[in-house]
Structure 1
Amino acid sequence: MSTLLKIQFTIPEETADEAGVFIASKVPHGWEETPAGDGRRFTLYLEDHPLGHEMVREFQARFPEADVTWSEQESENWAMAWKDFFVPVNCGESFRIYPPWLNDDEENGTTHIVIEPKMAFGTGHHATTSLCLATIGRLAKAGTIAEGKTFLDLGTGSGILGIGLSKLGLTGIGLDIDPQAVVCAVENVAANGVTESMRLAVGSIDCVEPGRTFDLVVANILSGPLIEMAGDIVARVRPGGTLVLSGILADKQSDAVAEAYGRRGLGEPERFVEGEWICLVWQNLGS
């Protein structure tokens, strides 16, 4: 029977966001974040044990003040481990995220998204995901995002952003370089009844057909890849379209990302902040 390596990092609050960025650069799927005294605890599960132990060594070297523990856990207990902390969460005024065991179809004026918390980033609990969904909701209310338009969700993770867009009447593609994330996204797309609206594939932006563009491109990944792929990402936005970028620390990374896209002629973005994180938005590109 296969086992997962359960790793927990407990770190002071002042370095917790930096630790989160480090973990995101090493682990393509999701993790749990919970308060721990005056700090924060990160809990994650890895099938690749050597990778996990190497990550522990790197984490301890970079954050010597952190407390780190690890243990083996039966893989089929993965979902149960999430049930202890996963609760419905509102993302802005437009979306509410549920796990399958709590979705009761209540009418509360929001668009419901059902996400099975597995090994893929994007449950709505992390600020970057909730910030993206809140921003999508604002754009929809303003009429920028509308039924019949197309989207590209780069770094789709659990598929949560693409599912939200599909429920607003858009059609598009979700891409992720992690095959496990795409497996999870396929399940979530089916659970939300949007299989006709959202296709999924393993890969990055370079696997999209040459010349294909979208009314909306959303990328909730990391600042480094966003900067490296700036030219390719901008090229995928249709004239008059919208670009939404997140996964960016507000006070440390936002200016560098904005500058990289400004060099592509995009100008200054709108900035939406939640906690330590920021979402950059450009509308009417090329208009």
Structure 2
Amino acid sequence: MSWLEIRVTYSPCGDLPADELIAEEFSAVGIGSVSVTLPDVEPVEGWDPGGYSQDTEYAVTGYLSMDGSEGDAVNDLKGRLEALKQRTGIACDVATDTLPETDWNESWKENFKPVHLTKNFVVRPTWEAYEPAEGEKVISIDPGMAFGTGTHPTTRLCVEMIEHHAKEGMTVLDVGTGSGILLVAASLCGATEGLGVDNDPVAVETAAENLALNRVPEGFSVICADLISQAGKAYDLVVANILAEVVVELLGDIHKVVHDDSLVILSGILEEKGPMVEARLEETGFVLTESHAEESWLVMVAKKKA
């Protein structure tokens, strides 16, 4: 089977999350899994790049099996991107290429190289070797086509907060765990027990594989469930890197999984939706203790009111 590669290049437009907005247009035409190229995400020093050269363009790339309907999907996508330009000013160029099966299986991996999440945390794909410097913590990830590689600002913000707040012996709940990267980070920061929850069974399988790959302790596990419906107990640290609207929904039941001294780390929140989430925190008995922004995205840390 041949595949059609659809590559959308764009120029950043102010603080708008252009990659997310373009990815949403891919999803609207039935392409749910995309790869994102961000030229300002540099591979870590000391990694041997071999024949790799850093991409100089911002791009979102998706793939379609060629069954005769791909032309309609591309035209639909182009129309949606033109409408996006009218709404936001984000200008896009669309290019397509035909790939045989063997090339498609590897092409999405090309721009996933070892990168720093924080000063001390490095994430590397399983197919790239990396020798850590003294004091560095390395997370090895095989995300699969459908899951994040850890380079998105919300992931970096969450890892920074986990690094700052996780303590030896903590228990951690990760809501919407995806590739399991936040559970791995928590374990490397001293947490001894953790649960990852995701409503996608493929994500659960991928996260479990990544926990095993990183030799995370036996006290960590992942389950397929909706939000916190099967979490079962209170945790010292609750992390949710999901959309703001889902965060608001989560906060309605979060008292079931926290105790008086728990910390809650929330991300996946656009800055413009920060006030909505903060108001919901207030309504549900929490106080915002800190908030940080990167590229229009927020991470918010909260605890129960005294």
TM-score normalised by length of structure 1? 0.81
Change (3 A) 1:35 1:73: same
Distance 1:253 1:104 in 2: 38
Whole-Å Cα distance in 2 between the matches of residues 48 and 202 of structure 1?
32
Return the match for 2:287 from 267, 270, 279. Answer: 267
Alpha-carbon displacement from aligned partner over 1:162-195 (angstroms, at most 9, x marks no partner): 1111222321111222333223222211211116
Distance in 2 (CA, whole Å) between partners of 1:84 and 1:254 is 34
**CA RMSD across the alignment:** 3.3
Residues 1:42 and 2:64 aligned together? no
Matched, 1:241 2:262: yes
Mean CA deviation greater in 66-75 or 47-56: 47-56
Structure 1 range deviating more: 193-202 or 68-77: 68-77
Residues 288 and 300, structure 2, Cα contact 8 Å, conserved in 1: no
Amino acid at match of 1:188: N
How many residue pairs are counted as aligned between the two chains?
278
> Taking structure 1 as reference, are residues 116 and 38 closer, same or farther at Cα in structure 2, changes over 3 Å only?
closer
SS at match of 1:128: helix
Question: Is residue 174 of structure 2 the alignment partner of residue 156 of structure 1?
Answer: no
Residues 97-246 of structure 1 aligned to structure 2 (within 5 Å): 97-139=123-165, 145-170=166-191, 171-194=193-216, 196-209=218-231, 212-246=233-267
State whether structure 2 residue 8 is matched by structure 1 residue 9.
yes
Q: Tell me the distance in 2 between the aligned counterparts of 1:153 and 1:48.
A: 37
Distance 1:254 1:105 in 2: 38
Contact 2:163 2:189 (C-alpha < 8 Å) held by counterparts? no
Change (3 A) 1:204 1:92: same
* AA matched with 2:286: L
In the TM superposition, what are the counterparts of 1:34-113 in structure 2 within 5 Å?
34-35=38-39, 40-45=58-63, 53=73, 56=77, 58-63=80-85, 65-70=91-96, 73=99, 77=103, 80-113=106-139
Secondary structure, aligned partner of 2:161:
helix
Alpha carbons of structure 1 residues 67 and 259: separation in structure 2 relative to 1, 3 Å: same
Alpha carbons of 1:177 and 1:169: their partners in 2 closer, same or farther (altered >3 Å)?
A: same
Q: Is the 8 A contact 1:119 1:181 kept in 2?
A: no
Aligned to 2:44: none
C-alpha deviation, 1:30, in angstroms: 5.9
Give 1:207 shift.
Answer: 3.3
Corresponding residue SS for 1:14: coil
Task: Give me the whole-angstrom Cα distance separating, in 1, the residues matched to 2:112 and 2:217.
Answer: 25
Percent identity between matched residues is 32
| Shift, 1:259, TM fit | 1.3
1:197 shift after superposition: 3.3
Choose 92-101 or 65-74, whichever is displaced more. 65-74
Contact 2:114–2:130, Cα closer than 8 Å, also in 1: no
Pair 1:192–1:79, CA change in 2 (3 A): farther
2:228, 2:257 within 8 Å by CA — same for their partners in 1? no
AA in 1 matched with 2:285: G
**Deviation by residue 1:55-100 (Cα, 9 ceiling, x = unmatched):** 8365554446433345564565456224422221112233111112
User: Aligned partners of 1:238, 1:5: CA distance in 2, in Å?
Assistant: 50
After superposition, the Cα gap between the structure-2 partners of 1:100 and 1:205, relative to the gap in structure 1 and judged at 3 Å, is same
**What is the distance in 1 between the residues matched to 2:150 and 2:294?**
13
Gaps of 5+ in 1: 140-144
Partner of 2:51: none
Cα distance in 2, alignment partners of residues 78 and 205 from structure 1: 33
Gaps of 5+ in 2: 41-54
Task: Return the match for 2:37 from 33, 39, 49.
Answer: 33
TM-score in terms of structure 2 length: 0.77
Contact 1:243 1:281 in 2 (8 A): yes
- Mean Cα deviation higher: 234-243 or 72-81: 72-81
